[in-house]
Amino acid sequence: MGMVQVARGSEDCAMAEMLSNLLQANLLKSPVKQAIFRALHAVVGLHIEDIEVSLTLDFRGGRLTIHEGIVKPPQITIRTESGYVLDLSNLSVRFGLPYFFDEQGRQALRNMREGKVKMFAMPWQLLNVIRLTRVMSVQD
């Protein structure tokens, strides 16, 4: 399908490959996610602090390029540890929004409240944050 690719020179980054595989699998199984993915235009900076890896996720309306390092100024920045990246992908989505009223959602909120997951975005990026959450979630 080729909607998600790891940038040339970033192929040796295990986290970039893992995210690429996760997102590609999510998109292949859901036409709804594909439509959301096509609407997502944002640069996301992901800092995984425990393994000292930073990634740029460059979403361009139906295409995603994952770069090792921060190669463009991000509109959305996420700082966390490697274990919490997968926790974010397990969030449920209900009525088109992240659902924080089940165990996964409550745990995600606890992690944010305790500073284990930090997300920075200007208020006008809220729609892109929601789209990112929906595309990353393994659930529909």
CATH code (residue 85): 3.30.1050.10
Dihedral sign of CA atoms 25, 26, 30, 35 in order: negative
Q: What is the mean pLDDT of the chain?
A: 91
pLDDT at 43: 98
Span 36-82, pLDDT tens digits = 999 999 999 999 999 999 999 999 999 999 999 999 999 999 999 98
Domain count, the chain: 1
| The pair of three-digit structure tokens given for residue 126, joined into one six-digit string | 């809220």
Is pLDDT at 1 greater than 50 in this prediction? no
Domain with 49, as residue range(s), is: 4-136
